[in-house]
């Protein structure tokens, strides 16, 4: 977000430049009727000087009223009285500049209204014109400032919302199966006692998984190739515990560098092991199919289950995943089929849809 002070200064400076140009144009156009004998170069020069003089009245008026509006906290009746007092002083200053400086020193003539001397009635009319000129300007300044403040609040709200969502995502990612590490270490310990040849490979795979979860998963997005490699490492470690498990893993990726939020896809695999395969009494299976074509991801996991599976635990895991998908890919399509002997999960994400990035 841009610094508020600098942003405010730029906006107000631009406003006064545009306002000055507008007033110069209007007064220059009016002067050809008021002073038809003056050359246009003289009229333009006089108009520039005239509007600069008026800014000496208008700018203090605008920011005095803004200051009272934003900073002065008094009873409403006294606040209105202060507004009126500031406007009256500004009108008198406007009239003084017009009558005693503009006409005699800039235009070189006495101020009149339609050729008439400024009588009491005409003086009141001219003062009213000055009042309307100033009020018009004040309205523009307040409109610009209120709009700017609303935009600042909108940006701050968006930033806070984004930070809140980031924190929520971080919290949700941290809820991924906390027992995986401990179970794997126990298995490695058992393998080490047996002096199994696979022990170094398992340690290496665990190291890769931990590096991914600690460092790479902290990124907002990562290549789908790395995400799939992490899933494959996870599966290899799980095979140590599930000797009678049949796993079919199929991938067809046309763009390995396609970015995806890390730790989304693996959660479905974790659920398949935790709430399906680990509770199966017979031959367990997991079928995983990952297809990415033309920016559209189709991800399907099918795993065995027993009727005694803890459905409540499964729903908690899916609730976590659904929330992450809602935050990251609002237009995703997720279907979960809970059949008698298996779960079938299908996820579709369209990476071409910018609203889901």
Same domain, 118 and 207: no
What is the distance, to the nearest Å, from the Cα of residue 221 to the centroid of all Cα atoms in its chain?
17
Cα(267)–Cα(273) distance, rounded to whole angstroms?
A: 10
Same domain, 145 and 234: no
Same domain, 45 and 97: yes
| Cβ density class 8-40: b for 16+ within 10 Å, e for less | eeeebeebbeebbeebbeebbeebeeeeeebee
Question: 291 in a domain, yes or no?
Answer: yes
Same domain, 134 and 264: no
pLDDT for the residue 117: 53
Q: What pTM was estimated for this model as a whole?
A: 0.54
DSSP 220: S
CA separation, residue 102 to residues 13, 47, 48, 52, 340 (Å): 25, 10, 12, 11, 93
Count CB-CB contacts under 10 A for residue 235.
20
Question: 149 in a domain, yes or no?
Answer: yes
Question: 321 in a domain, yes or no?
Answer: yes
DSSP per-residue string spanning 223-250: EHHHHHHHHHHHHHHHHHH-TTEEEEEE
pLDDT for the residue 349: 95
Same domain, 143 and 209: no
pLDDT for the residue 223: 93
The domain that contains 205 carries what CATH number? Answer: 3.30.565.10
Q: Over its length of 357 residues, how does the chain's per-residue pLDDT go in tens digits?
A: 455 567 888 899 999 999 999 999 888 888 777 777 788 888 888 888 888 888 999 999 999 998 888 888 888 888 889 989 999 999 888 888 887 888 787 877 776 655 445 555 456 667 788 888 899 999 999 999 888 888 888 887 777 666 666 665 665 555 555 556 776 788 788 888 888 887 888 888 888 888 887 777 778 888 999 999 989 988 888 887 777 788 899 999 999 999 998 888 988 888 888 766 655 556 788 999 999 999 999 999 998 886 655 554 455 567 778 888 888 888 899 999 988 888 899 999 999 875 555
Question: 79 in a domain, yes or no?
Answer: yes
Cα(319)–Cα(323) distance, rounded to whole angstroms?
A: 6
Same domain, 242 and 153: no
Let me know: does 286 contact 250? Beta carbons within 8 Å. no
Same domain, 131 and 244: no
Same domain, 155 and 183: no
Question: 276 in a domain, yes or no?
Answer: yes
Cα(305)–Cα(282) distance, rounded to whole angstroms?
A: 9
Classify residue 332 as exposed, middle or buried by CB count within 10 Å of its CB (0-12, 13-18, 19+): middle
Same domain, 44 and 103: yes
Q: Note the maximum CA span of the chain.
A: 115
End residue of a domain, out of 165, 196, 212: 165
Same domain, 116 and 202: no
Cα(333)–Cα(345) distance, rounded to whole angstroms?
A: 11
DSSP 264: S
Question: 170 in a domain, yes or no?
Answer: no
Name residues whose C-beta falls within 8 Å of residue 291's C-beta, 6 or more positions apart in sequence.
251, 252, 253, 297, 298, 299
CA-based nearest residue to 339, from 307, 308, 310: 307
End residue of a domain, out of 145, 165, 185: 165
CA-based nearest residue to 270, from 312, 217, 318, 322: 318
Let me know: does 132 contact 87? Beta carbons within 8 Å. no
DSSP 73: -
Same domain, 138 and 8: yes
End residue of a domain, out of 165, 191, 209: 165
Domain tally for the chain?
Answer: 2
Q: Domain range for residue 247?
A: 175-356
pLDDT for the residue 121: 47
Q: List 113's β-bridge partners, or say none.
A: 116
Cα(281)–Cα(155) distance, rounded to whole angstroms?
A: 55
Question: 346 in a domain, yes or no?
Answer: yes
CA-based nearest residue to 264, from 219, 305, 207: 219
3-state secondary structure of 284: strand
pLDDT for the residue 255: 94
CA-based nearest residue to 112, from 2, 42, 34: 34
Token couple for 272: 């398949």
Cα(195)–Cα(199) distance, rounded to whole angstroms?
A: 7
Rg, Å, the chain Cα set: 37
Same domain, 340 and 228: yes
């Amino acid at each position: 977000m841009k610094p508020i002070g600098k942003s405010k200064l730029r906006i107000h400076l631009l406003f006064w430049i545009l306002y000055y140009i507008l007033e110069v144009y209007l007064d220059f156009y009016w002067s050809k009727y008021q002073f038809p004998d003056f050359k246009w170069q003289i009229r333009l020069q006089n108009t520039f000087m005239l509007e600069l003089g008026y800014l000496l009245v208008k700018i203090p008026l605008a920011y005095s009223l803004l200051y009272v509006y934003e900073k002065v906290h008094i009873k409403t009746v006294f606040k209105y009285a202060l507004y009126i007092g500031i406007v009256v002083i500004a009108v008198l200053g406007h009239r003084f500049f017009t009558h005693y400086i503009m006409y005699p020193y800039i235009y070189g003539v006495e101020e009149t209204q339609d050729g008439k001397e400024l009588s009491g009635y005409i003086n009141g009319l001219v003062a009213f014109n000055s009042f309307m000129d100033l009020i018009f300007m004040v309205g523009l300044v307040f409109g610009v400032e209120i709009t700017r403040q609303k935009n600042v609040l909108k940006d701050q709200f968006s930033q806070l919302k984004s930070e809140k969502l980031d924190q929520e995502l971080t919290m949700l990612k941290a809820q991924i199966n906390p027992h995986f590490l401990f179970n794997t270490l126990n298995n490695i310990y058992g393998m080490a006692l047996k002096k199994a040849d696979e022990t170094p490979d398992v340690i290496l795979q665990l190291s890769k998984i931990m590096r991914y979860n600690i460092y790479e998963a902290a990124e907002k997005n990562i290549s789908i190739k790395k995400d799939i490699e992490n899933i494959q490492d996870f599966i290899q470690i799980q095979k140590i515990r599930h000797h009678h498990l049949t796993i079919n893993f199929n991938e067809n990726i046309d763009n390995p560098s396609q970015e995806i939020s890390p730790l989304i896809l693996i959660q479905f695999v974790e659920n398949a092991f935790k709430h399906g395969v680990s509770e199966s009494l017979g031959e367990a299976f997991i079928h995983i199919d990952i297809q990415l074509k033309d920016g559209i991801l189709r991800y399907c996991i099918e795993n065995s289950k027993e009727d005694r599976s803890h459905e409540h635990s499964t729903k908690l895991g899916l609730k976590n995943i659904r929330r992450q998908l809602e935050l990251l890919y609002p237009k995703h399509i997720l279907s979960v089929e809970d059949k008698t002997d298996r779960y079938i999960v299908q996820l579709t994400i369209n990476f071409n849809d910018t609203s889901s990035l």
